[in-house]
Chains A and B, each alone.
Chain A
Amino acid sequence: MQGTGADTLVAARPAPDSRHGVVGWMRTRLFNGPLNSLISLVTLALLVWGLTPLVQWALIDADWLGDSREACSGEGACWVFISARFETIVYGFYPAAERYRVDITLALMAATIAWLAIPRMPARRWVVVFALIGFPVIAWLLLVGGVFDLPYVPTRRWGGLMLTLTVATVGIVGSLPLGVILALGRRSKMPLVRSLCIVFIEFWRGVPLITVLFMASVMLPLFVPSEVEFNKLLRALIGIMFFWSAYMAEVVRGGLQAIPKGQEEAAKALGLSYWRRMGLIILPQALKLVIPGIVNTFIALFKDTSLVLIIGLFDLLAIIRAGLTDTDWLGFATEGYVFAALMFWVFCFSMSRYSQYMERRLHRGH
């Protein structure tokens, strides 16, 4: 103000371009320019055109209550199909009286995962040890039984969500350490170790998982002595573990390659042995770098557990599929598959969101 009097003050004017509020937001994000406006209108129209019948079908016209086919009005989705079979979907053919054992295992698993997932929890290191060693043993004893007065439940009676989670957990817990060993082996200076690891990794990565499962179900029994009874679930688990450990190995290798050579040289200069160098210096850094890749592999593994239905194991998807052939419930394919999709989606989506959260949290800004 260069000496102008108070009476000559210019009245306040609005900002030249409204970028605030709903109108401003719409102006910058939806209608800046004719082309963008057109795209917005067409997309919105498509969205309304596609979503309205979907919401109508899945929520508004849907039937929720009842326990038989008669409850379905036939106008929208009939979720009674799911609720009537919910127990089977979760427990498979696990004996009804023993299902509390599955509940305990699932609760223990949820608690362990929650403990590990929340960064503020104390003693997470020991919980990791428990999750990798203690939990599988406890879960196995609880689910199979045959000890401590628990009746024996053979694995062929396992099924549904419980089997899906079993396959996924064993796959994840087994393929990570195996993958780390393979990745280390691939970088080994011993030519035989290195080439064996390369052949192993390239072989499993080059074939479809389904042929691995076929191999596990029809070829593996030929390779073991005929006296050995080798149960189907175990065979599938071995196949899945080998297959995914190869993918895991490549992810871990990426992390190992990203660690500057100086780290290893410094550890050598301190006189640490190979396993201490790897275990204390290199692997913690490498694994932290590739957390997103590891979680991606977990997600892929989780999704692919559904393939066990092809060799006749009754996972979540197979149980729902079996329900569709039930003569009381013919014609509910859409509801069944939408529900299966939703279940898998919830698990995979939360894993991917958690991995993004970890990525941001561990990001050190360089």
Chain B
Amino acid sequence: MPKPPSSHVPLWRRPAFRALIIQALLLAGLVALIAMMVGNALSNLEARGITTGFGFLGERAGFSIPQTLIDYSGDSTYARTFVVGLLNTLLVSGMGIVAATIIGFAVGIARLSPNWVLARLASAFVEIFRNIPLLVQILFWYFAVLQALPSPRQSLSLMEAVFLNVRGLIVPAPVPEAGFGLTLTALVIAIAASIGFALYARRLQARTGKALPVYWCGAAMIIGLPLLAFVVSGAPLSWVMPELKGFNFRGGVTVIPELMALWLALSIYTASFIAEIVRSGIQSVPKGQVEASRAIGLSSNITLRKVVIPQAMRVIVPQLTSQYLNLIKNSSLATAIGYPDLVAVFAGTSLNQTGQAIEIIAITMAVYLTISLSVSALMNVYNARTLIKER
């Protein structure tokens, strides 16, 4: 059918024309808004005597931070403060992700257990912890539990090596001596060899159908080889035991209570969400898949590993990614209990000292945005690789 001549339709009723007008108006509005905001910001900053720009990053920060992964003192610059905060954020996020994944998978699988008590206990765990705000949980662990621990003199101790008190958790510190490098080298070689072996096993199975014990061999190599190197080189590792000197402990590694509270709360809160994701993932695998694999004579172990888990992971992984991102973002609540994360030391103390609100908030947001977008990108790649190939 020929198109009706466009001259019959008035100009303002044509979709293309309308779209153009709408977008032009939108753009004009946006530009006007930004211009207004920039104008206001400039005059407001001038009125308050704040200089703009990133020059403040090179200035002396002049405040101390209770936990730093790199050298830091009051004489360090704001740029170094930023790095310290970022590293602390990454530390607690990394620890949280590992713990939340382990607890979450355990609880999620427990919820599906045929054992009534275990399943109910797991449901109760999920229903309690995911319906209480994370901030309440952080404050609870910090003020109600960890602050109620005994003083260093009355510490709870485990075999006189690990101590728990109101100042934190103190564990022995490992000190590598000369020759420890050999053990590390052995570990790297073992990991590389396991990966190579896994690839070879996969090719072999694709060609001949013969399955090699990949997991056992990998585990044996990764544990055995460094252990061997460690023993051969004469166990070059000593431990500095924490000792009570006066009112506090000397030696050992101290996990500050702020980090413990944040880690506990983040792990448990996120685990309650991961548990639900794991449960829904496993339940999403059609029952027929399990029945079919039983029917062709696969053992329940193989059924789980080769049929159920791969299909469940397709449902689990994208949601798991969002939970990891939430955990990283939620670690910013550190500021409520004074754990020195990026938001606390940079968007908190540094901002208050310099007044550079726009620059500091912009940098902080950019950091989280970068982490979020790059983790999503990575997980999207993984997701695309594991998608079910359909015609």
A-to-B contact residues, CB < 8 Å: 29-30, 32, 36, 39-40, 43-44, 47, 189-193, 196, 202-203, 205-211, 214-215, 218-219, 221-226, 299, 303-307, 309-310, 317, 321, 324, 333-334, 337-338, 340-341, 344-345, 348-349, 352
Number of A-B contacts (CB under 8 A): 150
Cβ A306 vs Cβ B343 within 8 A: no
Cβ A44 vs Cβ B368 within 8 A: no
Q: Which of A47, A321, A337, A340 has the most CB of B within 10 A?
A: A337
Q: What are the residues of chain B within 8 A of A36 when measuring CB–CB?
A: 114-115
Cβ A303 vs Cβ B117 within 8 A: no
Q: Please report which residues of chain B, range 100-122, place their CB below 8 angstroms from some CB of chain A when the two chains form the complex.
A: 113-118, 121
Answer yes or no: B383 CB below 8 A from chain A CBs. no
Q: What are the residues of chain A within 8 A of B47 when measuring CB–CB?
A: 226
Answer yes or no: B193 CB below 8 A from chain A CBs. no
Q: How far is the CB of A197 from chain B (nearest CB, A)?
A: 11
Answer yes or no: B140 CB below 8 A from chain A CBs. yes
Give bound CA distance, A224 to B335, whole Å.
Answer: 27
Partner of A306 from the list B113, B133, B347 (CB cut-off 8 Å) is B133
Q: What are the residues of chain B within 8 A of A47 when measuring CB–CB?
A: 117, 121
Instruction: Please classify how large the interface on chain B is, using the bins under 10, 10 to 19, 20 to 34, 35 or more.
Output: 35 or more
B-to-A contact residues, CB < 8 Å: 19, 22-23, 26-27, 30, 37, 40-41, 43-45, 47, 113-118, 121, 127-128, 131-137, 139-140, 143-144, 147-148, 329-330, 332-333, 335-336, 343, 347, 351, 357-358, 361, 364-365, 368-369, 372-373
Q: How far is the CB of A345 from chain B (nearest CB, A)?
A: 5
Q: What are the residues of chain A within 8 A of B23 when measuring CB–CB?
A: 190-193
Q: Is the interface of B mostly helix, strand, loop or mixed?
A: helix
Q: What are the residues of chain A within 8 A of B43 when measuring CB–CB?
A: 226
Q: What are the residues of chain A within 8 A of B40 when measuring CB–CB?
A: 222-226
Partner of B117 from the list A30, A306, A309 (CB cut-off 8 Å) is A30
What are 9 A-to-B residue pairs whose CB atoms are below 8 Å?
Answer: A39-B117, A39-B118, A43-B117, A211-B343, A211-B368, A215-B361, A221-B44, A223-B44, A226-B40
Q: Which of B23, B27, B47 has the most CB of A within 10 A?
A: B23
Q: What are the residues of chain A within 8 A of B121 when measuring CB–CB?
A: 43, 47
Cβ A211 vs Cβ B358 within 8 A: no
Q: How far is the CB of B380 from chain A (nearest CB, A)?
A: 13
Give bound CA distance, A278 to B280, whole Å.
Answer: 31
Cβ A344 vs Cβ B132 within 8 A: yes
Q: What are the residues of chain B within 8 A of A44 when measuring CB–CB?
A: 117
Q: How far is the CB of A205 from chain B (nearest CB, A)?
A: 7
Cβ A39 vs Cβ B115 within 8 A: yes
Q: In the complex, what residue of chain B is closest to A223 when comparing beta carbons?
A: B37
Q: What are the residues of chain B within 8 A of A321 when measuring CB–CB?
A: 139
Q: In the complex, what residue of chain B is closest to A194 when comparing beta carbons?
A: B23
Q: What are the residues of chain A within 8 A of B351 when measuring CB–CB?
A: 214, 218
